[in-house]
Every structure is written in structure tokens, then in C-alpha cells.
Structure 1
């Protein structure tokens, strides 16, 4: 049998590689992976929109000599099967090239090692024209400084600069009439910053045993977004569980909305898409976030578990087991880990369920003279207006027989017309969006006086009435105003 060598067509293959599935933000994150692997402690992103969009990433990492840089420009420059340094975030030796080509047609890399500067660039238009795997070298420091954008940022004797030019994959919002490339590019950069703040939050914050990595964009510091809000005293963190293969798992229950003084802070930790979407597992490979907001098919995303986020840490030696892809944006659970997590699921998200169940129980707990009765019937719970409430009973006593019948009909219609389906729908999407109507301070004061007088007319003593009022949501949230309206000083 004859073996026939079939070399791929460079111009066709390299264009196909552009559609491997990177977004703008995941592509930039892949570039930053290289900087961290090079032990950089400072990473700066620079963008420019005129005359054409351009992006550069410069770091103070170890840098590469000429031959090392030339090898790094090769497609598939590293064997994914080899044992890596524990801090190496790469895998295939493709990320630099595929991430860059997914967004731009010209990639330039300048690196300094021991003060010596080297530079090469890929231009996909050149590859298409020659149909050869050819990179171009820029020789001489002066030539590099004059021809490469932002090369003046390589101020120390070591570090690397990556420049994207001919950026042709800038994508805006689907259906948006705004065709201004500058505006769309700036939106992409804004989304990228949010992505980097989350993906690299453990590097951006000084974590015990590791050096902090500072990142900035156009001179503005990138701040970490901790998806677990671990600094909050209201966050519930469980003990770390150690699974086989060096896998560790820890569950966090985020604070309920009522624990935040500022609604904006609550929304901030909901992340892009909100709490329900972002509940679930957060998988970290060598401290770098790979995938988040998924239960990997082990559970459904439910409102009751929306505050649960589970951190899983793995090293960089088991990528094949976890099916880590080239983009480092997807993964699969190994079967042994899947079984372990499945057995722990109830323990992991039970605190989140308790937070909402306790809150729900508080709303329907037996109070003094509740306005609603929860009636259990064959496994169902029906909510009916309590017509024995002193305020309602007192009002009915003043009615004629016909008016009483009409009033009872109104109460029944209000109870049976309770919009349960609508409420269930809204709660399934965002439980905290469902709230009772708010009243002004003046309305509350007037209602408090009327309520007190009506209850007093039923023969109840002051203390019983006040205890009943304190359990009513309409009065409880502004108790000081209620007492002031009644002319009572609480001791």
C-alpha cells in the first residue's frame, strides 16, 4: 500500500480556523492566558478606534527569544499531552493564533527577553495570496518601534506585546441599525472588560499563596468580580469537599436581596443574565474560570436554588478527562466526578432553598388576625381572604343583609380571582420582582389611625391591637411612623 501525503491548503485551512467559535471577549481572555503563563504581574490592554480599530495586549512576563517566538508563531506550537507547569493556562499551542485570527486578519507579536527584541507577524491576506504558511519578521529595534503600534509600551527588558490589526469580526447587537464600527467595537470592549473581571477574578485579587496580577484597559484598572460575594458576612460558605483526581468543590449561598442596602449591589452579583441564569457550577482550571452558571445536566435551574453557586477547582493535567476545548470556554464532567457531585447536590443547594422557603414561610406565618388564610385541600394550598378578621367582621356588622351578601360575594371573587398563574410565572423568572404595592408615609399614617380605631371599636385592648399591627406588612416596615401617628412612644 502506498501512503500519499496530503498537505492541507494553508489559505483554506487558516480561513476555516477563524470560525472555531471564539467571541471577542473569549479571544482576548485566551491572549491573557499566555501572559499569565509567562508569569506576568502587569497586563495592559490598549485600544484605538481611528482610523481603524486596533487592540494590543502588553505584559511584563518572561518574554521570548527570537527562536522561541518563531516557534510560538507556529500553528500547534505545543504538544497538549505534555506535562505543564502548574500555572500554565495553555494547552494546544493554538490559542494565540486561533483566538487572534477569529477577530483579526493581521497578528503581530513583539517580545523582549534579556533586553533583545524580536518581532513577527501573520497577515492572512499574505497567506491567501501565496497559499503558504509564511510569517514575516520585522528586524531591528528601530524598525519594530516605527512599524508596530504600541511597541513603545515594552519599556522593561522583558515582556511581550500582541497587536490585532485588520479587525474584521466586530459584532454588534443583532438587528441593531447602528452600523458604526467604532460604536460596535467599543461595546465589544466593554463586554470584554466585564468578562475579564469575572474569568480572572482570582488573579486580580491577591489570593493566598499567589502573586496578584494587575490588569488595565486604556489606563483604567480592571477590578475583580467575585461571583460568590465571599467578602459578605451574609454569604453562606460550606466546607471544601475533596474528590478524586485532585478535584475540590465548595458551595456558596449568596445573600438574599433583602441583605443588600443598595439594590445595585444585589444586581451586580447577579452577573450578566441574573441570578437564575448564573446559579450552578463554576469550574476553574488552575484558578482560571472555564465555564460557569451550569448544572451540567445534573439539575434544573430553579428560583429556589438561584442563590447557589458551586466552585470546582481542577489542575491543568486532566484536560482530556474534562474535555477542555481550545477556547477554554466549555467542559464536561468526568463520570466519577459527575456521580460524586450528584450525590452531593442536595447538600450543595439546600441552603439556597432554605433561604427562600424561610422567607416564604415568614410571609404566610400565623399572625394576630391574618388577612389571608392558607387552606390545605388534597395536597393543594388555597389562599382565602380571612372574613373573620376584626376589621372585616366589624365592617360587615354595619351592613344590611343584602349588602352583606354582596360583600361576601366580592370577597369570594377576590379570593378565587387570585392571579396565581401570573404570580407563578413572574416568580419562576425573577422571584424578587414580585412585591406588595408600596404606600406613602402619609397614607400609612392615615391607615394606621383608621385600623387602630376600628380594632378598638371591636373591644380589643391597645396591646393586642399593636401586636396585631406589628405583624401586618403595611405597618411593620415603617413602625416608627405608625407609632408617631397613634401618638404612642415605644419604650
Structure 2
């Protein structure tokens, strides 16, 4: 014989546990904005400011708004069934995001909503829940005095976080760089919602501002740049579309700040990989889902995968919308495509490497492959080195050869490998000082003239480094005025 026994969760225990699902400040803000977009908002304003010795956050939209009964239901934990069929553009799923995202950051959540000229407001105060050990919300009649209430439009919703304790610790005494937190949140929202901010075809354009500053979209694929290489979109399986991109090399940018902008926080190496979008909203980025390692050769490769909201269970999207598991059918396809996907990025770097070691450009370093082993050595046949050696007597030639051999043997391969793996784009050789550069240019030109005429020698120098990027200085060193 069996019998049912109801075990009702202890409010004071469960409510504290719900705070530790794992939201960051950025992901919590994004989850609230999801609700605004689902409510067809076109203008979303975020205010995150220290007010009267406390930090308050208000998210205001001009969306559809809610009446009193619908707002009360929305304040319920688990307000919707995740298995219910949802509208195509619905960015929610569990009916938990509003509450859990807010509770992760604050101890008092107030939602005010207007619809058809009527205003309703409710507050979850976690201290009250703990004290009374009861799932009780407070209905507010004093909402006109709430922070940022004056910004609420005639139809729309205000989500207010007060007692924001997670940024400062339990007692609120910790020092916090609010300016940094807000700045990082702006960058995060500009990336996560970039397709909405840009008004991509088929999506309602949304304007998002943070403390009065309107966000500019950050497109992680830099499609606007003509140097970006993109593959055609491919339908991997029903409901899953894939497209790969190879971002431009740093040498194609006139402004390094623009290059760094598209590298995203952490740089290109860290942010290579899959960018997963659910209903056009970025939920996961910069991961290969364990299919391959992140390498310097593929750091310019990014893969966009679009899925619809009907794929939530298949991809195991979590409540925070920051975690997913790639289905096996997609894993197999992406794994088979990785070599092809990474090829353009590899070519960008290998092509530059080939220019440095091709005999046609008189490399200082030779690159030799012997089976699986690759060896670098100083090219003793380089015109400048060869000319210098020939000017020495027999004994000094031997010493010079020994010196060249020593320098070649001391190539710091381990340090180079480490730096290339962590931040390849910031590695550079020491630039020649003007006097050294001029002396080198004259010696190289003289060496070329032994088997080429002046015009041919200049044409050669114009196409190779370091003379190509310092051409005016090269001509000055040679005493030549180009016509």
C-alpha cells in the first residue's frame, strides 16, 4: 500500500538557493531584456546607478505591458510551462528568468507595468520571505515614488532591482567599481543583442540605452568589412543553420582599436569558435564544444549557428540561456567541417608566413620541413649577410659563421609558441632604428645591384619587408627621388 505525502519546499531555504543558479550581472540584465523584446518593445532603457549609498538598477521598456492579473502570474516562480508551444520570437522558456535573474543580483524585486492606462505593481522582498517563511509578494500602491518610475511610458514595464547585494558582498560594505561593471554590461548587451540593435532583416529593430547612452551593435563576424571571408549558409539539419566566417587579419586595419573591438574581451584566440543564436539572440560564444582545441592558426575563425525556440530541449538550453549541449547529429557535422571551416583562417597566417620564407623575398630565416619536424635557421645566403661575410678575412668569416649558427640555434621556440597560443596578434619584432635601417637599406641595395640593375633592385625592395612599409625612408636612405 502506498500513500502520497506532500512535501512543500521551505520558502526561506529555497529562495536563498535560487539566488545561486549562476547568473552574472551581465547575463541577468540580458535575461530581463529578453522579456522586453518578447513583449515587442522598441525602446529599452537601463539605469544602473549608485543612489543614496545604494546601487539600483531599473530596466524600462515600451512593450505591451501587463494587466494586474497577468503581472501577478508573471511574478509567480515557474509562471509558464517550458514544454508549452511558444511564439516564434519568444526569448523566454521556463517562466523563471525574471525572478531568478533578479534574485541573483538583488534582495528586492519590484515590477511595475502599465496597460490601457492602468498601472499595477508587485514586489518580491526576500527578507520578508525569509522572515515570514512564506511565498508572499507585496502589492504596491506607492509605485509613483519608485526609482525611475517617471521614465515609464504610457504602456510598458519597469523592472527595479533594490538591495543589490551581490556586487558588494553580503553586508554591502565591499568597494565596487560601478563604472567598470556598467561598461562591461554595455559591451555584453551590444554583443548579445547585436542583431536586434542593427535591425537585421526579419527582426524588429530595438534601441537599448544604458544610463542614457545608446548601444551600438558589436557584430562578432564583422560582416561590414570587405576583408571578412564568409561561407554560404548551410542547413545542417531541420531547425539548425550554420555559416562560417574568417575575420580580417590585423594588417588590413588602419586603426588597431577597430581590430581590438572585434577581438572582443579576451582577444581573438579566446573568442574563436561557435556562436550559438536562439531566436537571433546570442546565448553562447567562443567555444568549439570540445570538438577541437583553440589554436593561433584558427583564431580568426567564427561559426554562426542559428536555432529556433523549438530546439531548446534538443540543445538542453539552461534557464540562464548561457549553457547548451550540441546534439550529436550537429556535432558530427561540425566535426567533419572543422578542417574546412578553419582553412581560411590558417591560410591568412600561413600565407604571411610563406612570404617571410619564400626565396623570392630574400628571407633572413630559412624554414625547412623534414617529415614531421620543422627547422628554422638563419639564411646565410641573404644578400646583406653574404655581402658582409665576403668582406671579412678567412678567420673572421669562421667567427661570423659561428655567430650566425649560435643565433640560429637559440631561437626561443617555447616562448614563441606560448605567446602565439595566447596573443598572436600582439607579437612583433623589434623595429630597426632609423640609422640601422638606412645602413641596412644601402647594403641590401648594393648587394642586389651585383646581379640586377637599379630599377629591378628597387622593384624588388618595394615588395618585401622591412622596406615595403617604410618605402619613403628607404628612398631617402638611397638618395633616390621617385618620379
**Matches for 1:368-447 after TM superposition, within 5 Å:** 369-441=362-434, 443-447=436-440
Shift of 1:326: 0.5
Inter-partner Cα distance in structure 2 for 1:368 and 1:308:
28
Shift of 1:444: 2.7
- Local SS of the residue matching 2:160: strand
- Contact 2:77 2:96 (C-alpha < 8 Å) held by counterparts: yes
Counterpart residue number, 1:25: 26
- Equivalent-residue separation in structure 2 for 1:368 and 1:122 (angstroms): 70
Alignment match of 1:150 (pick from 148, 151, 169): 148
Q: How big is the shift at 1:335?
A: 1.4
Distance 2:129 2:173 in 1: 29
- For residues 297-340 of structure 1, the C-alpha deviation after alignment (integer angstroms, 9 at most, x for no partner) is 11111111111111111111121111000101110111112122
Q: How does 1:196-207 map to 2 (within 5 A)?
A: 196-207=189-200
* 1:483 and 2:472 aligned: no
> Contact 1:367/1:471 (CA < 8 Å) preserved in 2?
no
Q: What is the aligned partner in structure 1 of residue 160 from structure 2?
A: 163
Q: 1:231 to 1:468 in 2, by over 3 A?
A: closer
Tell me the alpha carbon deviations over residues 1-38 of structure 1, each in whole angstroms, 9 at most, x when there is no partner: 12111101111110110111111111111111111111
Q: Is this contact kept in 1: 2:383–2:444, CA < 8 A?
A: no
1:102 aligned partner: 104
Change (3 A) 1:171 1:29: farther
Alpha-carbon RMSD: 2.0
Aligned equivalents of 2:180 and 2:383: distance in 1? 59
Question: What is the aligned residue count?
Answer: 479
Residues 393, 333 of structure 1: alpha-carbon distance in 2 compared, 3 angstrom cutoff? closer
Query: Of residues 78, 87, 110 in structure 1, which corresponds to 2:80?
Result: 78
Shift of 1:180: 5.3
Separation of aligned partners in 2, 1:242 and 1:388: 53
Structure 2 CA distance for aligned equivalents of residues 47 and 382 of structure 1: 56
Unaligned runs of 5+ in 1: 173-177
The answer (yes or no) to whether the contact 2:168–2:174 under 8 Å persists in 1 is no
- Contact kept, 8 Å, 1:170 with 1:188, in 2: the verdict is no
Cα distance in 2 for residues equivalent to 1:369 and 1:214: 54
In the alignment, is residue 240 of structure 1 matched against residue 242 of structure 2? Answer: no
TM-score by length of 2: 0.94
- Unaligned 5+ segments in structure 2 are none
Distance 1:392 1:341 in 2: 48
Deviation per CA, 1:177-228, whole angstroms, max 9, x where unpaired? x9754x4333222221111111111111111122210011111111111101
Give the Cα separation in 2 of the matches to 1:101 and 1:66. 22
Give the TM-score normalised by structure 1. 0.93
- 1:422 and 1:408 map into 2 onto residues whose CA distance is 25
Q: Give the corresponding residue for 1:90.
A: 92
SS of the equivalent of 2:286 reads: strand
Aligned to 1:277: 270
